[in-house]
Amino acid sequence: MELLKLLSTSEIVAQVINFLLLLFILRIFLWKRILKLLDERKERISSGLKSIEDSKAEIERLKAEYETQLSSIENIARERIKEAVKEGSQVVNEIKKKAQMDAEKIIEAAKIDMKHEVARAKENLKDEIIALTMKATESLIEAKFTEENDKKLIGDFLKQVDETK
Amino acid sequence: MSTELPNIVTILESKLEGTVFAHYLRLWENVIFSLIIISILSIASYFVCRKQRLVPNRLQNIFEMFVGGIDDFVCGILGAQGRKYTPFIGTLFIYIIFMNFFGLVPFMKSSTTSWSTTLALALCVFIYVQYSAIKENGIIGYIDHMMGKPRGFLAFTVAIPLLLLFLHIVGELIKPISLSLRLRSNIWGDDILLSIMAGFGLKGIPMLFFNTFLAIIAGTVQAVVFCLLSTIYFALVLAHED
Residues of A in contact with B111 (CB under 8 A): 15
Please check the confidence at residue B84 and state whether its pLDDT lies above 50: yes
Tell me the chain B residues in contact with residue A18 when contact means C-beta distances shorter than 8 Å: 31, 34-35, 38, 120
Contacts of B92 in chain A (CB under 8 A): 19
pLDDT in tens, A46-81: 999 999 999 999 999 999 999 999 999 999 999 999
Closest-CA residue to B124 (of A131, A58, A13): A13
Checking if the pLDDT of B154 tops 90, the result is: no
Helix (H, G, I), strand (E, B) or coil at A7: coil
Answer whether B46 sits within 8 Å of A23, measured CB to CB. no
What pLDDT was estimated at residue A87? Answer: 94
pLDDT tens-place string over residues A101-117 = 999 999 999 999 999 99
Q: Do B120 and A15 touch (CB under 8 A)?
A: yes
Testing the interface with A: which of B49, B126, B180 to mutate, by most A Cβ within 10 A?
B49
Å between B223 CA and nearest CA of chain A: 15
- Say if the ipTM goes beyond 0.95: no
Closest CB to B49: pick one of A10, A34, A38: A34
The predicted-structure confidence for B6-39, as pLDDT tens digits, reads as follows: 888 888 888 888 888 888 888 888 899 999 999 9
Q: Which residues of A touch B67 (CB under 8 A)?
A: 30-31, 34-35, 38
Predicted confidence (pLDDT) per residue in B222-241, tens digit:
999 999 999 999 998 886 54
The pLDDT value given to residue B3: 66
The model's confidence at residue A91, banded by pLDDT at 50, 70 and 90, is: very high
Residue A15: which residues within 8 A CB-CB, separation 6 or more?
B30, B31, B34, B111, B116, B117, B120, B121
- What was the pLDDT predicted at B1? 43
Question: What per-residue confidence (pLDDT) applies to B223?
Answer: 94
User: B131: which chain A residues are within 8 Å (Cβ-Cβ)?
Assistant: none
pTM above 0.80, yes or no: no
